[in-house]
Amino acid sequence: MTETKAVKSEQTRALIVETALRLFRERGYEATTMRAIAKEAGVSVGNAYYYFGSKEELIQAYYDELQDEHVAACRAVLAAERDFAPRLLGVLRARVDTMVPYHEFAGKFFKFAAEPTSPLNPFSAESGPARESAVAIYREVVNGSNLKIDEEFRKELPELLWLYSMGIVLYWVHDSSPGCRKTYLLVERTVPIVNKMVTMSRIPGFKSVTRELVGVIREVRA
């Protein structure tokens, strides 16, 4: 009975998220209420609030699901490649692959996610779990590769790669090319540049610069 209830509960939760995303696309994020989501999903308002305390929590659930899809899509390339550049390229391509179906929706709620004080902001405390999960993927990209770099720089590189990926996401939101072709092109053209910059960090003349960069990152973070 307990297992059956758990399955039903997860199905209800998934239905609410799916319904919310559809209504956000059709009516816009601001115009969609929790009451409307509950009605469309065929559940009571109280039941909807039982699973999600606000619309913002529904978006966080979307972030989490999208991140889970990305992690699953990365597995093949991370298992097959040891070189840093192919690993990074595969992970970023997978990121775009998983985002493309939500392109129209992302454009509609981006203005809310871009607000610095919004819980939907990827840098907010509320987005922390999804952010940490995303950084973890880039940590796997680095630590699972045969990359030889300064140990202190290695510790900071995953977060830098996540910030780089956020730049890709920002471009993708505004990409109107068919199938987001230009976003894929941006990934393909910039990964070799990032690879060169990272591998150059171990050259004696660049080590001091890398250490200064690590110092700046840690000072800003503190």
Pull the structure tokens for residue 118. 């919004």
Q: What is the amino acid identity at position 195?
A: N
Give me the pLDDT at residue 3, please: 63
Decide if pLDDT at 1 tops 60: no
Alpha-carbon span 48 to 65, nearest angstrom: 18
For residue 2, give the H/E element and its range. Answer: helix 2-27
Mean predicted confidence (pLDDT) in 201-211: 80
Alpha-carbon span 162 to 122, nearest angstrom: 11
Decide if pLDDT at 144 tops 60: yes
Mean predicted confidence (pLDDT) in 206-218: 81
DSSP 106-148: HHHHHHHHTSTT-TTSTTSSTTHHHHHHHHHHHHHHHHTS---
Size of the chain, expressed as the number of residues it contains? 222
pLDDT tens digits for 64-96?
888 888 999 999 999 999 999 999 999 999 999
Give me the pLDDT at residue 15, please: 92
- Band the pLDDT of 4: cuts 50, 70, 90: confident
Give me the pLDDT at residue 169, please: 93
Mean predicted confidence (pLDDT) in 157-165: 94
Give me the pLDDT at residue 188, please: 97
DSSP 184-217: HHHHHHHHHHHHHHHHHTTSHHHHHHHHHHHHHH
pLDDT tens digits for 41-59?
999 999 999 999 888 888 8
Give me the pLDDT at residue 39, please: 93
Q: What does the mean pLDDT of the chain come to?
A: 88
Mean predicted confidence (pLDDT) in 59-65: 81
Q: Is 198 exposed, middle or buried (CB count within 10 Å of its CB: 0-12, 13-18, 19+)?
A: buried
Most confident of 98-102, 105-109, 163-167, 208-212: 163-167
Alpha-carbon span 39 to 62, nearest angstrom: 20
Decide if pLDDT at 22 tops 70: yes
Decide if pLDDT at 99 tops 60: yes
